[in-house]
Amino acid sequence: MNRRAEIARDTKETKIRVAIDLDGTGISKIATGIGFFDHMLESFARHGGIDLEVAAQGDLHIDMHHTVEDVGIVLGQAVAKALDGFKGVRRFGHAYIPMDETLSRCAIDLSNRSYLIWKVEFRTPKVGEMDTELFKEFHHAFAMNAGACVHLECLYGTNSHHIAESGFKALARALRQAVEVDPKTGGTAPSTKGVL
């Protein structure tokens, strides 16, 4: 089973290429021009067990919004393409990730019904040079384009770096569970409808 995909997106605001292998080992090559975002995507790949390449050029002279959102769009599209109709996977996944004083929880349903519940608050407007409000934009874009229902919540925490990173790791671990091949499905979509 080849669960790899490559997606490219070129607009007047960004030029992005994402390549993934859902059955990888967490190897990543990330270059978005945003240091902290690169760190989050590297963590996402490592803890998701996904080989991931992201090359993004965006209008960072304006701000980081277009780059972050468009990477979320393309990454979500790549996951959906690699899953090929969600056939044969576990579909559901969840994770709790502690990081020092912070605890985050994520639950995901690969249902082809996109949704995001976001219960995350930051104490600071930035982490490094990155606006903390952009983390929701990324997760929303990812969920909408992956066909995933994502519930992400920071149960408690004070350090914005920890809140952001534990959220990315929680999403990664939940996704890792959900994309696992489930032999009990017989290669079909895990739904009473027979298709997702």
- Cα(58)–Cα(37) distance, integer angstroms: 13
For the chain, first and last CA: distance in Å?
Answer: 19
Query: Is pLDDT at 1 greater than 90 in this prediction?
Result: no
Q: What b/e string do you get for 41-75 counting C-beta neighbours within 10 Å, with b at 16 or more?
A: bbbbbbbbbbbbbbebebebeeebbbbbbbbbbbb
Q: How many CA atoms lie within 13 A of 139 on its CB side?
A: 30
Model confidence over 49-101: pLDDT tens digits?
Answer: 999 999 999 999 999 999 999 999 999 999 999 999 998 999 999 999 999 99
Query: Can you give the CATH number for the domain in which 78 is found?
Result: 3.30.230.40
Tally of domains in the chain? 1
Residue 196 lies in a domain: no
Residue 189 has pLDDT above 90, yes or no: no
Largest Cα separation within the chain, whole Å, is 50
Task: Determine, yes or no, domain membership for 132.
Answer: yes
pLDDT tens figures, 112-155: 999 999 999 999 999 999 999 999 999 999 999 999 999 999 99
Is the predicted pLDDT of residue 192 greater than 80, yes or no?
Answer: no
The parent domain of residue 172 ranges over 4-185
pTM: 0.95
Estimate the crossing angle of helix 160-178 against helix 35-48, to 10 degrees.
30
> Is residue 193 assigned to a domain?
no
The answer to the question of residue 51 being in a domain is yes
